[in-house]
Structure 1
Amino acid sequence: MKTYTRLQLLSLLIITSLQLSAQPETKNIAFTRERLSFDNGWRFHLGDIPFPIIKGHGTTYANAKAGRAWGAAAPDYNDKNWRLVNLPHDWAVEQPFDSTANVSQGYRPRGIGWYRRNFKLDTSDRGKHLEIQVDGVATHCTVWINGTVVHRNWSGYTSFYIDMTALAKYGNEVNNIVIRVDAVNQEGWWYEGAGIYRHTWLVKRSPVHIMTDGVFAHPVKNSNGSWSIPVEATIENSGSATTDYEIEVTLFDKEGKQVVKGNATAGVKALGHSLAKLTLPVSNPALWSIENPALYKVKTVVKRNSVLYDSLITTCGFRTIRFDADSGFYLNDKRIKIKGVCNHQDHAGVGVAVPNSIWDFRLKKLKEMGVNGYRCAHNPPAAEFLEACDRVGILVMDENRNFNSSPEYIRQLEWMVRRDRNHPSIILWSVFNEEPMQGTEIGYEMVRRMSSVVKELDTTRPVTAAANGGLFSPRNVTQAVDVVGFNYQINAYDPFRKAHPEMKLTSSEDASGLMMRGEYKNNKQQHLIEAYDTQWPVWGANHRTAWKVVAERAFLAGCFVWTGFDYRGEPQPYEWPTADASFGIMDQCGFPKTAFYIHQAQWVENKNILHVVPHWNWPKDSIGKNIRVMALSNADRVKLYLNGKLLQDSPVDKYEMNTWQVPYQPGKIEAVSFKGGKEVARFAVETTGDPVSVQLIADRETIAGEGWDAVPVTVRVLDAKGRAVENANLPIEFEISGPGNIIGLANGNPNSHEAEKGNKRSLYNGLAQVILQSKAGSLGKLVLTAKSKGLKDAVVSITVTDAPKIPMVEVAN
């Protein structure tokens, strides 16, 4: 054992003991912290319930007192006829489309809704610190606990934490929580959903405990090449007396072996807090990278005389990041071009109430395409999403929702940084997106203040802002950020670089290419957009040009394409009945469009990529007429064959790819790619017969039986030879048996008004998606059957596996 003097605590120097070992964590500590899911058993009412009009003096007097809420906020309000729902819940995705509703919200009515829930606390909870945590409510909400207003939240993207200790009832007394959600107004210009759409929790802790989001573990590479991990822990005391305590910090590697331990003693006043700062040396840590995202666990323990008060596990990663004005971005001193996408947070079938496992599914699809970066547009994401980015190795730009330097919005910004600053995936804090004041002194002053707030909490990452104008104004936001973000400023890259060679630059949003999956002819009457990368709005560019401009400029750190997935709302260039945006590289389900294969060919370096579009099922009157054919490849040359006859032998332009006009003949069109004169890949598209059977393909063969896990299932139809019919648009009906439910259906068609809940969905250009979710505490086989008139049924069986039960707060009557 070695002893170091390294801890600064409340500006006092104290002695720190460090232990270096390779032993697994000891198991004989009794943890007191409980984090219980609060998601199950809520009563929901769609529509407002006006408060009773109060006129009498006695009732007016009572209404002004704590614990005396009226109407639907009253603890004893009769909600037995309300709908029973589990969270996360998005009521907007359940609504029918309405041409009079807001176009940017995807023509989905939103409105007002009420949630209520009863629960009990054991008498043993008396004296504990009790906190309700709500991860996200769209959009504004008011919260009552036991008849008292305890919180008002004004952003649909920030979590909030409610200390309910003073209002708690114990034993047989029932506690009541009510949340009125007002989703009438919008924060954004895209689909935002409505309701309590992220997870909720009840956290029980000792009076002396680690504050929520109170641990900051940020590994540092020192100037001499060694590594250390400074750890800051904010300790709160909700008790009635000043308490001395010992803080112990232990670092564990990815195998769970102890790497280093440190401890110190300090004190915290009653109803106060203290900040402990502890630095631990670490020898030769495994580095977090895109290819090998090594993660470590920091265990922070608060105790006194061997009695445990609190314990918290925090994930972190060892890595260095650096932006350079001349050569872009470096991860672990390795130059990397950021190949990123921007995304909103809704998914097909479920709206914004996205199951945790669907984040993994979406990131898997992006990684398959060659993506290494992700911009959270235009708001902080779900915590589970960032955890997934840490696991899979994705570089994240975390973005603030509201551009405002007044106290309420500064609190929102502080929350984002506190919650997210331990994630190694995050490389940039973005304080705004496309603000009218970005080229003014006011905008500069606002960014200057917001940047200062960020750096009070985290100095390890640069601050950026996604600006789409005002870059050359005498006073503008670029002068107040660390990295300048360009939105759709292709023509400004070079002149801005010439004017400001010292500034670090990245494209923060580009392209906005428009296409619809499986469509290969524009049709204004039917609102169809061809998938040849030929359509884009006036502010944007096609995918190939946008990447070429970034790739050829070393001073640009990289790009973030708008967008990785289609999303509801903001339809372009058509509106009603079109309800969804078509900017995505993939559709809402995650089915690839042509842009997917363009970027895959541009971005993937470690495998041979070759794909051919379009399908080869054209009407008889198309015979002899030219069909545009694209071969998307990262090879040197591509040969194109039709029914075995060589049509083309062309070099590959690594940005533009290959496009030819081919007179249509039924049969097989095939591309063969070559590197260094050697064949490396083949890809063929064939004319198929009529559909004869349905096929179901589950993304995974197993699903955890804890009630949260979800799996997407792809639906398509096959001809007699087992080939997928890519232009089929048949209706499909579904049946489910076993321990699970259908929670969403979709097909990626931005013009479709079919319901996303239920058991029916049509294919769109050959594909549809069904999302299944397990039931809590279940085991067995979850069986999905798909039927279409005149076709052979399809059946897929998913094994529901035993999984640890998610601790939950029981519902009280």
Structure 2
Amino acid sequence: MEKINLNRSWEYAESSLVNVLNLESLNLEWKKVDLPHDAVIEKERSANNPSGASEGYTPGLSLYYKKELVLEKDWEGKNLILEFEGIMGISEVFVNGRLVAKHFNGYTSFLVDITKHVKFGNKNIIVVHVENTHKPGSRWYAGCGIYRHVWLHLGGKVYIKPWRLHVETRAIENEKAVLEIRATLANSTNESVQGVVEFSIFSDDDKLIADTQEQFVLSNNEEKTIGKIITLSPFKYWDIENPCLYKIRAAIKIDENIEDSSSTFFGIRTISVSPEEGLKLNGKIIKLKGGCIHHDNGPLGSASYDRAEERKVELLKASGFNAVRLAHNPFAPAFLEACDRLGLLVIEEFFDVWTAGKLSFDYHLFFDKYWEEDLEATIVRDYNHPSIIMWSIGNEITWGVGIDVDDEDGYSSIYTWCSRLAQKVKELDSTRLVTAAFCAIPADYESLLATIEDGNNVIRMLKQGPVVNNDRWGKVTEKFFKFLDVAGYNYKVDRYSYDLEKYPDRIICGTETYPYTLFKNWTETVKNPNVIGDFVWTAIDYLGEAGIGRVCTDENEAKMFGGEFPWFYANCGDIDICGDKRPQSYYRDIVWGLRKEPYIVVLPPQLFGKKLYFRPWAWEPVERSYTFPGCEGMPLAVHVYADADEVEVFVNGKSLGRKPCNFDTRFKAVFELLYEPGIIEAVAYKNGKEIGTDKIETADRPVALKLLPDRNVISSRDDLCYIKIIAVDKKEREVPYADNRVTVEVEGAGRFVALGTSDPLSTELFVRPQRKLYKGRALAIVKSIGEEGEIRVRVLAEGLKSAEVVIKCL
């Protein structure tokens, strides 16, 4: 089917009234909008919002979207199917006043056949009602609206169903790849039809390399899957270093005329696991250097632009990650396509809850009725992505109040549901591994963090510690994991070696681990052959679960799970919401062997000597700064990360001596000194020889702005450019304490989209072109508008010289 983008020229309005047949009578304030759109990110946050810390104190909304769709007269007789990649909220779709679909999962895509509900050669009205006022409804920021793409699939009388052209690598024999191609055909006529399906495979440089065909006969209104075996020789593997992608095209021919066609990309790769060797990709052992991420795009909210999804993958790859876990729901197709192109392995997760909820209005209310529909939609949509190596059927599934943990047969038994979900996944896709993430069980609750008074069950399930004597966790999970290929361990690194002996056939993946225990996480992962990887929570910071990664100086505040208003971000990612690496990310570079030079961070004088209370996902509050005006003579601590024998620190040329900084010290060394503006330098030594240096210099007051676009040339159609805004002194040194208010002006072939910082406590809206710098930085996002030409971005600041950059749109 031909795929037509419908993102342009929508209108939306807020209303809690329901009268789709006569929307105009509601006197709604309609606003023009292009998709993708997240309406929540445009709204003020408030401590009184019932979403609480989980969704960052954002409001719930009830929205209407509408679009006029004029269908060409010569399309009459064809089949039309709408595809919604994602609508955040309970959604209802109306075509010309008639309800044609309802959908209850904000993260799964769905299809709506509108063929019988439209008028050709005339105006059609599509209305989408999105209801997301029920709070609390999510454990993280969800947003609200049609936040992903909308497509119109246009097909012939006999057509290939959307998402139903699949390629499976059946075998690799003697350097030949044996592929099975399957296409599901639908006959919409009331008579029998016969014809031919032609399958063509194109190389990564778009050359035809193989083709075949198969005859078919379809009865009236029949659907049938046509399969064909094709052998490629020679062929190229898809892997993380060389992610080779092929294209498959299927065309339906009736009486030598092409009635319909469809195409998609795929890759050829093999995956296997064993307790002796772990995970193999294309026959080679690989340890997953992984991170978990949520679906939002920082300053864009949940709006899923293709470039925003691609940029996340670029950031992950640049920081050494070779794998990502999609927490805790299916992601946008654009993200998976970027993983395919750039070479990033994926664990795609279906659900955060099953029958028992974690919040009053989360998906558990709909799970038992729609789980199968949502699971199947995700697998058939994403089947061809070579980047996906595992399906996760659930995250930290809970039993619910009053339910017996040991019940193996009841309706709410997690064993019953684990078996049911795993079996369904294998029916739909036998080529990939199945996992689920498990943490603690209710029996562990009593012994955990007795001082915590917020009653939050989630944190009670995240205790990391030695195996208890009766090992109830082991007994419970043994029954759970028997249905899975890979056992997902959340915050259970201390069990790895123990379980290697107790469960020698178990294959383990650290599906969530704390950032601060990185050294131990990775050491245990490498040491145990049956542990296939480690996934930090999280790789990229995200909106919501506000403040779970904070460091407190107040003991009472530290007892709360989330941060009080105005906390907005989780504050636990290796990479912040603007795309900058945080100190923990540079430490990861050392532990993973990606960085040879040492790296300096500083605990500021304002925090030195104070009692600090760490949330479980927190990192030390160190900064990449040696600029602390007014703190001369005050003590501070210099932290050095290095894989060396020892490191030496110099302040303005004066040595503070050498300290070990190696595997035994977990690649860290700490020096205490009195703040003296100037240059601080670290020198790393191995075998008595210098192997690398790092230095930080004190900056003067800020005098100007510097702009750093991620790209100077972008596409003219709906592309994004990310522009770093940095305050600098007269020597162009970054000034990390600058907090000047900046204003972004955009002219030409683009428009302003967002302006953000990594300040987790700011209440300034991203959609406004003014805000204060945070630690000397901000990030502006601009968008092309379909015109070739130039986007001129000018940034002004109070007391600073302005800066300008020109982005070309082609």
Both proteins in one fold, TM over 0.5: yes
Q: Does 1:501 align with 2:449?
A: no
**Range that drifts further, 271-280 or 377-386:** 271-280
Residue identity in the other structure for 2:808:
T
Distance 1:679 1:365, change over 3 A: farther
Alpha-carbon distance in structure 2 between the residues aligned to 1:678 and 1:279: 59
Alpha-carbon distance in structure 1 between the residues aligned to 2:251 and 2:406: 48
Residue identity in the other structure for 1:658:
K
For residues 531-546 of structure 1, the aligned pairs below 5 Å read 533=516, 542-546=517-521
Q: Does 1:488 align with 2:488?
A: no
Distance 1:620 1:70, change over 3 A: closer
Alpha-carbon distance in structure 2 between the residues aligned to 1:180 and 1:493: 48
Decide whether the 8 Å contact of 2:175 with 2:233 is kept in 1.
no
For residues 706-745 of structure 1, the aligned pairs below 5 Å read 706=717, 708-745=718-755
CA drift of 1:645 comes to: 2.6
- 2:678 corresponds in structure 1 to 667
Q: Does 1:771 align with 2:781?
A: yes
For residues 370-519 of structure 1, the aligned pairs below 5 Å read 370-401=320-351, 402-403=353-354, 406-437=368-399, 441=408, 442-470=413-441, 471-474=473-476, 476-511=479-514, 513=515
For residues 93-492 of structure 1, the aligned pairs below 5 Å read 93-101=41-49, 102-103=51-52, 104-171=54-121, 173-185=122-134, 187-222=137-172, 226-401=176-351, 402-403=353-354, 406-437=368-399, 441=408, 442-470=413-441, 471-474=473-476, 476-492=479-495
Mark the runs of 5 or more structure 2 residues left unpaired by the alignment. 356-366, 400-404, 442-472, 549-561, 603-623
Distance 1:109 1:208, change over 3 A: same
What whole-Å deviation, never above 9, does each CA across 1:293-350 have from its counterpart, x for those lacking one? Answer: 1111111111123211222221111111112213321111111110100010112221
Alpha-carbon distance in structure 1 between the residues aligned to 2:369 and 2:694: 58
TM-score (structure 2 length as normaliser): 0.85
What whole-Å deviation, never above 9, does each CA across 1:215-236 have from its counterpart, x for those lacking one? Answer: 1102233365532111111111
Alpha-carbon distance in structure 1 between the residues aligned to 2:644 and 2:306: 37
CA drift of 1:202 comes to: 1.1
For residues 531-610 of structure 1, the aligned pairs below 5 Å read 533=516, 542-571=517-546, 572=548, 573-605=562-594, 608-610=596-598
SS at match of 1:391: helix
CA drift of 1:94 comes to: 0.4
SS at match of 2:324: strand
Alpha-carbon distance in structure 2 between the residues aligned to 1:265 and 1:77: 54
CA drift of 1:604 comes to: 4.6
SS at match of 1:299: strand
SS at match of 1:194: coil
Alpha-carbon distance in structure 2 between the residues aligned to 1:260 and 1:779: 37
Q: Does 1:758 align with 2:768?
A: yes
Alpha-carbon distance in structure 1 between the residues aligned to 2:686 and 2:382: 43
Decide whether the 8 Å contact of 1:371 with 1:603 is kept in 2.
no
Alpha-carbon distance in structure 2 between the residues aligned to 1:334 and 1:439: 39
Decide whether the 8 Å contact of 2:243 with 2:340 is kept in 1.
yes
Distance 1:129 1:635, change over 3 A: farther
CA drift of 1:412 comes to: 0.4
- 1:91 corresponds in structure 2 to 39
For residue 6 of structure 2, the aligned residue among 25, 35, 38 is 38
Aligned residues: 717
Residue identity in the other structure for 1:646:
S
Alpha-carbon distance in structure 2 between the residues aligned to 1:677 and 1:761: 49
SS at match of 1:156: coil
CA drift of 1:479 comes to: 1.5
Residue identity in the other structure for 1:544:
F
CA drift of 1:608 comes to: 3.1
Distance 1:79 1:324, change over 3 A: farther
Greater relative contact order (CA < 8 Å, ≥ 6 in sequence):
1
Alpha-carbon distance in structure 1 between the residues aligned to 2:11 and 2:499: 55
SS at match of 2:373: helix
Alpha-carbon distance in structure 2 between the residues aligned to 1:612 and 1:111: 45
CA drift of 1:261 comes to: 1.2
- 1:697 corresponds in structure 2 to 708
**Range that drifts further, 610-619 or 733-742:** 610-619
What whole-Å deviation, never above 9, does each CA across 1:562-611 have from its counterpart, x for those lacking one? Answer: 01111111122522121221111111111111011011222254x63442
What whole-Å deviation, never above 9, does each CA across 1:6-60 have from its counterpart, x for those lacking one? Answer: xxxxxxxxxxxxxxxxxxxxxxxxxxx4321111111111122233xxxxxxxxx
Decide whether the 8 Å contact of 1:712 with 1:771 is kept in 2.
yes
SS at match of 2:774: coil
Decide whether the 8 Å contact of 2:197 with 2:251 is kept in 1.
yes
- 2:21 corresponds in structure 1 to 70
Residue identity in the other structure for 1:554:
P
CA drift of 1:691 comes to: 0.3
CA drift of 1:394 comes to: 0.5
Distance 1:122 1:425, change over 3 A: same
Decide whether the 8 Å contact of 1:628 with 1:659 is kept in 2.
no
Alpha-carbon distance in structure 2 between the residues aligned to 1:678 and 1:686: 25
Distance 1:97 1:237, change over 3 A: same
Decide whether the 8 Å contact of 1:43 with 1:79 is kept in 2.
no
What whole-Å deviation, never above 9, does each CA across 1:642-691 have from its counterpart, x for those lacking one? Answer: 21233343443248222222312211111233556554433210011000
Structure 1 residue runs of 4 or more that deviate by more than 6 Å after TM superposition:
76-80
Decide whether the 8 Å contact of 1:497 with 1:503 is kept in 2.
yes
Decide whether the 8 Å contact of 2:789 with 2:809 is kept in 1.
yes
- 1:626 corresponds in structure 2 to 635
Alpha-carbon distance in structure 1 between the residues aligned to 2:643 and 2:311: 25
- 2:606 corresponds in structure 1 to none
Calculate percent identity across the aligned residue pairs.
31
Distance 1:444 1:688, change over 3 A: same
Distance 1:416 1:675, change over 3 A: farther
TM-score (structure 1 length as normaliser): 0.85
Mark the runs of 5 or more structure 1 residues left unpaired by the alignment. 1-32, 52-68, 514-532, 534-541, 802-813
Alpha-carbon distance in structure 2 between the residues aligned to 1:635 and 1:740: 48
Alpha-carbon distance in structure 2 between the residues aligned to 1:594 and 1:42: 42
**Range that drifts further, 610-619 or 453-462:** 610-619
Alpha-carbon distance in structure 1 between the residues aligned to 2:252 and 2:98: 32
Alpha-carbon distance in structure 2 between the residues aligned to 1:325 and 1:469: 23
Alpha-carbon distance in structure 1 between the residues aligned to 2:41 and 2:177: 48
Distance 1:265 1:46, change over 3 A: same
- 2:620 corresponds in structure 1 to none
